A and B are shown apart, each in its own frame.
Chain A
Amino acid sequence: MNAPVAAEFDAPLVNATRFRQAHSADWERLEELVTRLEKRSIRRLSDDDLLELPALYRTTLSSLSVARDTSLDRSLITYLEQLSTRAYFQIYGVQTPASRQIGRFFARSWPESVRAIWRETLFCVLLTAGAAFVSYFLIRADPSWFYAMIPQGLAGGRDPSASAEFLRSTLYEGEKDWLGVFATFLFTHNSQIAIFSFALGFAFAVPTVLLIIYNGMMLGAFVAVFAAKGLGLNVAAWLMIHGTTEIFAICISGAAGIRIGMAIAFPGRLSRMDAVVAAGRTAAIAMAGTVIMLAIAGLLEGVGRQTITNDGLRALIGSAALAGWLVYFYAWRPRSAADGN
C-alpha cells in the first residue's frame, strides 16, 4: 500500500494466478492422497493423512466455489471440479466394511425389508394357496387337467396314471449318490427364479403374479395325484421338509416384484421415480434374502429329504423351519433397532 507502483507490478493480474499461488499446494496434496487411495485401500494411509483428508477436501471444495464465481480460468475450474469429485468418492463413496454390512443385513435390513412387504407376501401366500386348491380340486374331479398343467419332463412319471407303489417309491427312495449336486442344482435354479420374479415386477408385476399362480397350481396338482392314491399325508410331509422354506422364499421374492410393480403403477404421494427407487431398494434386500432361504431349502430338499424318510420327522423339520422364519422376520426385534442407526 505504501508503494502503489511496485504493488501494481507485483500483484497478479488475474484472480486465477492469485488463487493458484495461495492454494495449489493444498490441491496437490489432496490429489496425491486421493491418487494413493484410488490405487490402494484406505488402510495404506497413515493416521495423519486420514485426518488431513477431510480438511483438504473442504478447502478444495471451497476453492471450487470461489473459482467458479471469480475466475475465468477454465482449466483451473475443470481441475478443481474433477479433483473434488474424486475426493468426494473417496470420502463418501467408501463402503462400510463387509463384515459390518453382512452383520447389518442379518440383524436389521433383511427382517425389516421382509416386514415392509408383508402385505405383498400375504397376497402371494394366499395366491399360492388359492391356485393350489383350484388345481387340486380340478384334478381330483378330472385327472386329465394334470397333463394340461404339468410338463411331462417335470412330472417324471408322477401323473394320475401312475401306480400307488410307484408314487410311494418316489417319496421314499431317492437317488443317494448325487445328493450334493441335486441340492446345488435346486438352489441355483430356484434362486434364479426368485431373481426373475423380482425383476419381472417391473412389468407392473403381471408376470410375477403369473409365476406365483403357476407355482401354486403345480403344488396342488402333485398333491392331487398322490392324494388320489391315498398318499396325501405322505406327500404333504415330503413337501413340507423343504417346501415351507422354499415356498415362503418364492412368495417373498414374488412380493418383492409386486412391490416394484405397485410402486410404478400407484406411486402414491411420492413422485413415480422416488416411489420406484424406495420400492426397488427394499425389495432388493428381501430378494437377496430369499437366495439364502433357497440355499437352506436346497439343503433340506437335496440332502435332508433324501436321507430322512420318516413322515413325522419330515413334517417336524418343515414346521420348525417355518416357525423359525416367521419369528425371525415378524416377531424378533433386535434391541439395537432402537438406536436409530
Chain B
Amino acid sequence: MATKAIRNRDLKRTFITPEGVDLKLELGSAGSRAGAFMIDFIAMIIVLVVVTIALALMAVPGSDKFVTVLWLLGFFVLRNGWFSLFEMGTRGATPGKRLMGLRVVARDGARLTGAAVIARNAMREIEVFLPLSFLGMQTAEGTADTFLVLFALLWSGIFLFFPLFNKDRLRVGDLVAGTWVVQTTKAKLTHDLVGSGYRPRRTFPEHALKLYGIYELQTLEQVLRNEQSDAIVTVARTIRDKASLPDDGDDYGFLSDYYAALCARLEAGLMVGRRRENKFE
C-alpha cells in the first residue's frame, strides 16, 4: 500500500492548463502501457483474420482482383492506421488504451495534433513491425539463423524497454512526437467526513492533537473512508495509547471526532502559514 502510493507519486507530472492550474497528471505505468499494446495487437490480428475470411468468402469467380486490392489496402490501413486513426479521435486512445484507462496527451499542454499522432505511431515501424516482419520473412524463407533472431530480439528489446529507461515512460515515438500517455481515472465525490451542524463531539486535550501532521491526518481519512473494522480498531488503540486517552468503546466515533478536531487544528495552522506535513515536524 505504502509502496504503491510512493510509486504513484513518482508518476505524477506537472501539467499546467492554460488557466494556470497544475492538474498533476498521472503517467500510465509501464504495465498498463504494455497491456494496452497487447490488447491492440491481438485486436488487429483478430480484425485481420476476420476480414481475410470474409473477403475469401465474398470472392466469387471474376472478383478476385478486386478482393485482392481490397485486402492489400485493408492491410495497409490496419497496420498504419489502427493506432493513428483511433488516437486522432476525441478520446485520444486506441481501444486497448481505453480499456486500460490511458490517453495520449501532448506534453506541452496544447491540443494533441494529427502530426504528433502520426509521428508517434510511425515510429512503431522501427520499434515493432520492422523486426517482426524481418523475422517473419526470414523464417518463411527458412534463412533465419540464430544470429538474426538474436539481433531482432535485441533490436526490439532496446525499443521495447526504452520507456523503462526514462522517468517519463516515453516510447521513442512519444519522444519524437512530444506526447506522453497518462492514466485517466474517475473518482466519485465522497461523503463529507466531518459534516456540519451541531452534534455532540468529543473534545481532545492539546497534547493529543499535537501528535500528528497532515500525512497522518490523510492516512486517518483513508482508514475512516475504507471502514475496515480491524484497521479502525488498531488505529483507535494506537492513538489512545499515544495520547493516553481512556477507551469509551466507540472506536469509529472516537476516530471521526479525532479526525475533525485534528483537521480543524491543522487547517487553522494553514491559515496562518504553518503547514505541518507529518508528525516529525
User: Residue B126 contacts which of A89, A200, A279, A283 (CB distance < 8 angstroms)?
Assistant: A200
Given A13-B264, A72-B214, A101-B114, A185 contacting B72 (CB threshold 8 A): yes
Chain A's closest residue to B108 (CB) is: A277
Q: Chain B, interface size: which category?
A: 35 or more
User: Residue B24 contacts which of A21, A81, A181 (CB distance < 8 angstroms)?
Assistant: A81
Contact between chains at B21 and A287 (CB < 8 Å): no
CB distance from A62 to the nearest CB of B (A): 8
* Interface residues as binary, A191-231 with B (CB distance below 8 Å gives 1, 0 otherwise): 11001101110110000000000000000000000000000
The docked-state distance in angstroms from the alpha carbon of A27 to that of B172 is 38
Contact between chains at B125 and A199 (CB < 8 Å): yes
Chain A's closest residue to B90 (CB) is: A94
> Which residues of chain B come closer than 8 Å to A70, judged between CB atoms?
267, 270-271
Contact between chains at A14 and B111 (CB < 8 Å): no
CB distance from B111 to the nearest CB of A (A): 6
Given A93-B111, A181-B72, A13 contacting B122 (CB threshold 8 A): no
CB distance from B73 to the nearest CB of A (A): 6
The docked-state distance in angstroms from the alpha carbon of A6 to that of B14 is 44
Given A85-B25, A95-B88, A17 contacting B189 (CB threshold 8 A): no
Contact between chains at B175 and A276 (CB < 8 Å): yes
Contact between chains at A285 and B125 (CB < 8 Å): no
* Interface residues as binary, A66-84 with B (CB distance below 8 Å gives 1, 0 otherwise): 0001111111101101111
The number of chain A residues with a CB under 8 A from chain B is 80
CB distance from B34 to the nearest CB of A (A): 20
Chain A's closest residue to B84 (CB) is: A288
> Which residues of chain B come closer than 8 Å to A82, judged between CB atoms?
185-187
Classify the interface of chain A: helix, strand, loop or mixed: helix
Given A24-B189, A73-B221, A280-B119, A180 contacting B214 (CB threshold 8 A): no
Q: Is B138 an interface residue (CB 8 A)?
A: no
Given A61-B21, A70-B267, A280 contacting B176 (CB threshold 8 A): yes
Contact between chains at A178 and B111 (CB < 8 Å): no
Contact between chains at B92 and A196 (CB < 8 Å): no
Q: Is B250 an interface residue (CB 8 A)?
A: no
Q: Is B48 an interface residue (CB 8 A)?
A: no
Contact between chains at B90 and A93 (CB < 8 Å): yes
* Interface residues as binary, B185-225 with A (CB distance below 8 Å gives 1, 0 otherwise): 11111101111111000000000000000100110011001
Q: Is A324 an interface residue (CB 8 A)?
A: no
Q: Is A88 an interface residue (CB 8 A)?
A: yes
Q: Is A166 an interface residue (CB 8 A)?
A: no
Q: Is A86 an interface residue (CB 8 A)?
A: yes
Contact residues of A between 233 and 281, Cβ < 8 Å to B: 260, 273, 276-277, 279-281
> Which residues of chain A come closer than 8 Å to B193, judged between CB atoms?
16, 73
> Which residues of chain A come closer than 8 Å to B187, judged between CB atoms?
75, 78-79, 81-83
Given A195-B80, A281-B115, A202 contacting B176 (CB threshold 8 A): yes
Q: Is B112 an interface residue (CB 8 A)?
A: yes
Contact between chains at A199 and B122 (CB < 8 Å): yes
